[in-house]
Structure 1
Amino acid sequence: MTSSLSDVQSSFPKPATGESTQPPTPALTAAFDPGRFHDGAADIVSRLTTYLGDRSVRGLDLQHPETLLKAARELMTLERQGIADFDADRVNQIVDLYTETGIPVHSPGYMGRQFSGVVPLASLMDLVGSVVNQPSSFYEAGQLPNVAERLMAEELNRFIGWDRDRFAMVTTSGGSLANMTALLAARNRAFPQIWTAGADSTPGRPAIAVSEEAHYSVTRAAGVLGIGERQIIRLPVDRAGRIRPDLAAPVLDEAHRRGLRPFCLVASAGTTSMGAFDPLEELAALARRYGLWLHVDGAHGASLLLSDRHRHRLRGIEQADSLTWDAHKMLFMPAPCTLLFYRDKAAARGAFRQRASYVFDDEPDVYSAYDSADKNFECTKRPMIMPLWTVWSVYGPALFAQKIDRLCAVTRQAHEMVAAEPDFAVAHEPESNILCFRYRPDGLDPATVHRLQLEIRNRIRDGGRFFISKVDIDGTAALRVVVMNHLINADHLAMLITEIRDIGQRVLRASATARHDQRKGSHS
């Protein structure tokens, strides 16, 4: 005979005096009510649909922090004792404030950063992930996310070209974390005793070789790992920002003479500054010659593997030992979603050498074989693979390839348009969807050129129609556009060029007037 719930409850010890045994209050239950979720979601989706449908050319509405702080504080309930009544209008105002103050990533005026407007289906699946809340480092906690991770690994490895029985892939929260994890694996392979005995146990000083254009997360990882900035070997680059293999070998030889023990060479597939792609084939040969792990930071540019037109930029990737690939950049997914690939799955497990009985099984089984917690930092990890796998499953890889091709073509068009303007100067030939250039009329000294680009960028941002970024190239600021929206066309580019010129001329006229007044004042 089965017992009722009340019978089972009555067999338990009574709670201590003062402890509540009352059922949850109506207000607590209401906060989790599915019907309320449905109504609130409908309101939010309606607002986001309007947001996505806005094709106007607009940039960032940059508000003073104190102004935004005041507006946000006014949206917070004053209730501190009980649970406040649900206020749909308050929620809608929060959503509106969020969208109004964010970078409009879906607008043709947005050309400033490397994160993208997402495929709308991906955002819906991200909502599902938030509702079902399945941390995905362990199979038993997130069954489908772990299977989806395995499937996406297989799909994307077809473009990388590693042995499908030997490689491994793990998702992690951002390219910075992926780069550091790969460096950990490389360090532990070169210095297997360092995990337990520490850096003092290593013969020589561990070092990494990086491009002068390497992302700051790589050099930051060197500090976190205890390598130290003095043990970072800087490899020279050409005018386009690509590592020069012919000059790298002498630099590595000199590092050995100084007592350094380099264990990893980090190459870039799409640098942050100019989108440059290092020559991977030559660097792979160099890494083999010196016994180095070759890690490719492809956070931005690895997605070009999906394009028949642009895959050649990553020629030699199959010879790398590891690869960082951000899906929230050129695969147009919600951030963060980073894919860290290893050519050898045994090396993937070498990044972390720990046991913990509460998560790691002493006797692995068919389920734990899908766990990833032994290969990444995160124990509780968002099911970030689900939006990517869903979009891939519904639309296939051609969606990504066509958008990538479109972005690169528009960037090439931007290069041609800027280069045709006599008062502009392009800084490089674009290799992907990043272009750097300067507004540079004749007769300006280098210091004026530098300050002028900074002022132009700031005024464009404050104007609110376009959002672009800036970067220093050879010590002088340049304007930088990152084409992430497939709706950007020649008209938008022409509007941007005109706005840059108008602002630049106003700045130069104001500066000339100020100098004239200053001279006039000194003579008087």
Structure 2
Amino acid sequence: MTEWMLSKVGWQPPDSSGVLVHGGSLANLTALLAARARAFPSAWEQGTPAEAVILVPAGTHVSVARAASILGLGSRAVHPLPCDDLGRTRGERVAEAIELQHRAGRRVMAVIANACAPTTGLYDPLEAMATACRDKRVWLHVDAAHGGSALLVPELRTLLRGIEQADSVTWDAHKMLRTSTLAAAVLIRRSEDLHHALRQSADYLFFNDARTGPDLMHCTVEGSKAELGLKIFLNLAWRGEQGLAAYVHGRHQAARTLWRMVSARNTFEALSEPESNLVCFRYADGNDPHSEVRHIAIRDRLMGQGTFHLASSLVRNRRWWRATVMSPASDQAIFTQLLDTLEIAYQEASY
């Protein structure tokens, strides 16, 4: 299954390699272990140097800061990239950001790109970021845990233009490939980088016994694992690649329908035109000082009632509801019910 996913990125074994892990957090950690091994080959034995930093865009998944601390960098080693007001990396300024770190006596271990951002569903400019990282000889990791499945849809693949130039990619099958939790892939452009990520020795596990088939246990943080590849395979075999692509495309189109419906009501405002199946919007309450508290309270109320499950994001210092359109049953009638329910709930909360 990793070979199939590699091919969608634009890579091929044996030059490239990948491994399945229990979730995107472990996938991001594994990718950063590979990045550390490339930048600091002696780090496995001597520890991560104090000058190591990671550059990230706004809205980067929390697992990146966690991985930085696990790797011994500390969360203070995670530095922001220049972004626009929607949190998307400004690709033309990535090289400058890397150079500024070098001038300060630090070394950039990796640059993270969102594809898409968990807070907004928007994609970073991968091609521009890849060019900058290649010129500066810095590892580029694309966190495509949620948005990687757009690679299956020709009309959406342009959102990930340049992903084949990255050094590593995280792609969750349990997000948009309709696979049960958990099943995530960490994909590495150069196979040797994956094999250098973890350099432990254990003669009761790793020995030359000429076993058949690939043995990737030395490439993952986990020891025992579930049959992750089987879950993805059975799903792919049942639905087919075209079936999965139709699902991804359909959910993207449904998100656009919700966005248009939000934009048509003067009681709501949308953060931006969606690029994925995530739609951020809020009640158009101007500068109401109680806005954030009310948005959170209404979200909690709907979840408590079991009617709608909305997530939440803080963008431009404002609280937004975040709808993740996953279910094939989510249609215009459901969206109408959602917006009607939110309007009533906000009006009630205002009294």
Instruction: Verify same fold: TM over 0.5.
Output: yes
Are the structure 2 counterparts of residues 245 and 455 from structure 1 closer, same or farther at C-alpha, using a change threshold of 3 Å?
same
* Superposed displacement of residue 189, structure 1: 1.2
Q: Aligned partners of 2:163 and 2:35: how far apart in 1?
A: 17
Mapping 1:115-514, distance limit 5 Å: 152-199=1-48, 202=49, 205-361=51-207, 363=208, 365=210, 367=212, 369-441=213-285, 444-508=286-350, 510=351
Runs of 4+ in 1 over 4 A off after TM superposition: none
Contact 1:263-1:291 within 8 A present in 2 as well: no
The C-alpha deviation readout for 1:16-67, integer Å capped at 9, x for no partner, is xxxxxxxxxxxxxxxxxxxxxxxxxxxxxxxxxxxxxxxxxxxxxxxxxxxx
* Superposed displacement of residue 252, structure 1: 2.2
Mapping 1:27-176, distance limit 5 Å: 152-176=1-25
* Superposed displacement of residue 465, structure 1: 1.6
* Superposed displacement of residue 249, structure 1: 2.9
The C-alpha deviation readout for 1:317-337, integer Å capped at 9, x for no partner, is 110111111011101111110
Q: Which residue is equivalent to 1:98?
A: none
* Superposed displacement of residue 366, structure 1: 5.3
Contact 1:424-1:438 within 8 A present in 2 as well: yes
* AA aligned opposite 2:305: G
Q: In structure 2, the residue corresponding to 1:336 is in which secondary structure?
A: coil
Contact 1:209-1:262 within 8 A present in 2 as well: yes
Q: Aligned partners of 1:352 and 1:393: how far apart in 2?
A: 32
Q: Which residue is equivalent to 1:131?
A: none
Q: Aligned partners of 1:322 and 1:446: how far apart in 2?
A: 43
Q: TM-score scaled by structure 1?
A: 0.65
Contact 1:240-1:429 within 8 A present in 2 as well: no
Q: Aligned partners of 2:300 and 2:44: how far apart in 1?
A: 46
* Superposed displacement of residue 311, structure 1: 1.0
Q: Aligned partners of 1:156 and 1:252: how far apart in 2?
A: 30
* Superposed displacement of residue 286, structure 1: 0.7
How many residues end up aligned between the 2 structures?
A: 351
Q: Aligned partners of 1:168 and 1:192: how far apart in 2?
A: 19
For the aligned residues, what is the CA RMSD? 1.5
The C-alpha deviation readout for 1:186-239, integer Å capped at 9, x for no partner, is 10111111111223xx4x611111112211100111111111222222102223
The C-alpha deviation readout for 1:60-100, integer Å capped at 9, x for no partner, is xxxxxxxxxxxxxxxxxxxxxxxxxxxxxxxxxxxxxxxxx
The C-alpha deviation readout for 1:88-115, integer Å capped at 9, x for no partner, is xxxxxxxxxxxxxxxxxxxxxxxxxxxx
Q: Aligned partners of 1:455 and 1:227: how far apart in 2?
A: 37
Q: Which residue is equivalent to 1:40?
A: none
Contact 1:209-1:264 within 8 A present in 2 as well: yes
Q: Aligned partners of 1:394 and 1:489: how far apart in 2?
A: 24
Q: Aligned partners of 1:371 and 1:409: how far apart in 2?
A: 40
Q: TM-score scaled by structure 2?
A: 0.96
Q: In structure 2, the residue corresponding to 1:414 is in which secondary structure?
A: helix
Structure with greater proportional strand content: 2
Q: Name stretches of at least 5 consecutive residues in structure 2 with no aligned partner.
A: none
